[in-house]
Each structure stands twice: as C-alpha cells, then as structure tokens.
Amino acid sequence: MAAPVSNGAIVEDETAGLSVAVNFNFSNTGSGGTLQVFQSATYYAPNSGLPDDNDPGWTAAADAAGNAPSDGVQSTTFSHVGFTQARGTLMYYYSRRKSASAVEIGTPWPVTEIVPSRAYISGVSYNAGYSVATVNTSVADTVTTLYYYASTSSSQPGYALTSPWQTSPSTIWSTNNSFTVTPGSNYYYWVLGWTHNNPGPDGAVISPMFAATAGAGSMGLRVFTDATPPLIRLDTKDKQIMHYAAFSGSLAKNGTATISVGGGYDITSGDWGIDVTPVDLYLKAVSTTNQIVVSYPRPGTVPYPVQWRINVFKLNQA
C-alpha cells in the first residue's frame, strides 16, 4: 500500500455558526486498501499504535457526493467532508490506508486544525470622564486570541484573511480593548477571534456589532431575581410591549366585522401591531389607520362559523 498525503484541513471560519464544517484535504490519496480518516481532540504520536486500529471512529473517506477518492496523486485536491468542529477547539485529523490487518499511516500525522471562538461583547465600561471606553468580552478557550476595533462608523471592518500566509490581523485591529472616545458620541465596537494555526492558514471570526454612546448609559431600571446567580427580570434593554387589547367574535361565510381600536391606534405609524387567530387561509385581518376589518371569504360550503380573535399590540411605548 502507498500512504496518503494530506495538504491540510480547511474550514470556513467566517461564519456565525457554533461549529464549522471541516474539509480534510489530500494531494495524494495513496493506494491499496481503503483510505480512512479519523478526528480526535487527542494527539497521538506516530507509531504509538493509537488511535486503535479497530476504533469505530475510523471512517472511509468520501467527498461531498459520498464517493471514495481515486488512488494516487490528485490533480485537484480531494476533500473528505463530514467532520464538524466546535468553535474554540483544537482537533487532530489522522489518515491511513487499511487493508485487512495491514495499515499504512498518512502524513502529516496528524493534521491539526484550530477554530476560533466567536466573541460577543457584553458591554462597554468607561473611566470617570467617559473618555476611555473598555470593551467587555471574553471567550472560554485557550486557542482564540482576541483583537478589538472601535469606530464612529457602523460599517463592519475588514477582518478575513487576504492570503493563506497572513499570520496576524490587519493593523486596524488592536490587542488593547480600551479606546479613547469623545463623551456623548456614538461608537461601534467589534471583537475579532483569531487563531494562529501555523503551518495552516489562520482562523478569523468577527463578533456581532455592539453600539454604545460614550457616557453614563444604561438609563432606566434593572430588577434581579433572588436566584443564584441573580437573573435579570427587568432590564433597560428590554422592549416594553403593551398587549393593548383583545377582540373576538365569530364570522359565517363571507361575513365581515369592523373593529375600532381607539387609544390612538394607527397601523401605519409603525408603533402598533395586530395578530389574528386561528390559523385559517380564509380568515383575513386587514387594517388601515385606526380600524381593523376581519372577513371570512371562504369558498364552498362552510358548515361552521370561524371563531376569531384579534390581539392588538403597542410595540413602542413612547
């Protein structure tokens, strides 16, 4: 048998997912027996006898269509697909050719892949004069290096690798999570999770944007429960929705009902919303400005009237 030769494990880091798909690539798939691949969080030295020959984690290599590779040098890289890797982890990928009890291990042994965690900004804190903003965030792993960016523009900064040989983020990203800001101005913050995967390409994933005004902020009231740790039962960022009214009735075939909501209801203002039950293709709830018209233009025989209900919500309490 001839040993397989891998040219690396490739993942698409720049996604929001909690895990990423892994392509285990081969420039030469070897020959004889069956090409098998193995994923593990554990490093096994060459010739250690591990992972065990009969470990059920060994699986036959297959491309996206489920086909086994051709033997030998590949004119186009062969990718085994099917592995996924959680963010914030280092995983090892092993390959071999196996025929009955004969085994030929692949090189490199193993291939490593590190996938960065996606950081989330929990808040921004300030010095006494609100002239220095400190971004609060963390990740729970040891493989992700965090970089920080602040701007008065809400345009997302560039962060992805521009070449496979890039070994650090562009210089717009800072290792310092504190920024000089102008009190009263709006700022937008991002955190970049980066992994140094040498010799493979580095990993990069950007956080969601966090917007904050440099100042006291967090105006409002926060109430906690007595749980351990305390849970927030009312927060300043909660959206205060009012279930303003509920109307109900029944309609026979082709019946209509008109509701005057009152209270300044205006569906065109963007501050109000309505919802209708039950789910019925023929139950219509149409609203213009301050009224709701419910109708039931159902074709065919309608043995029972529909018993409807309209909920009216005030979405923004000015």
- 291 forms part of the interface with another protein (CB under 8 A): no
Select from 198, 233, 262, 291 the one that contacts another protein (CB under 8 A). Answer: 233
CB of 218 to another protein, least distance (A): 7
Contact window for another protein (CB under 8 A) among 69-77, 108-116, 126-134, 281-289: 281-289
Q: Using CB atoms within 10 A of its CB, is residue 213 exposed (0-12), middle (13-18) or buried (19+)?
A: middle
Kindly tell me the sign of the dihedral angle through the C-alpha atoms of 261, 263, 267, 270: negative
CB of 220 to another protein, least distance (A): 4
- 217 forms part of the interface with another protein (CB under 8 A): yes
- 130 forms part of the interface with another protein (CB under 8 A): no
- CB nearer to another protein: give 35 or 192: 192
**Per-position b or e across 17-34, b if 16+ CB within 10 A of its CB:** eeebebbbbbebbbeebe
CB of 312 to another protein, least distance (A): 9
- 161 forms part of the interface with another protein (CB under 8 A): no
- CB nearer to another protein: give 49 or 243: 243
- 226 forms part of the interface with another protein (CB under 8 A): yes
List residues binding another protein (CB under 8 A).
Answer: 15-19, 84, 118, 120, 122, 208, 213, 217-221, 223, 225-226, 231-243, 246, 248, 267, 270, 272-287, 292, 299, 307, 309, 311, 313, 315-318
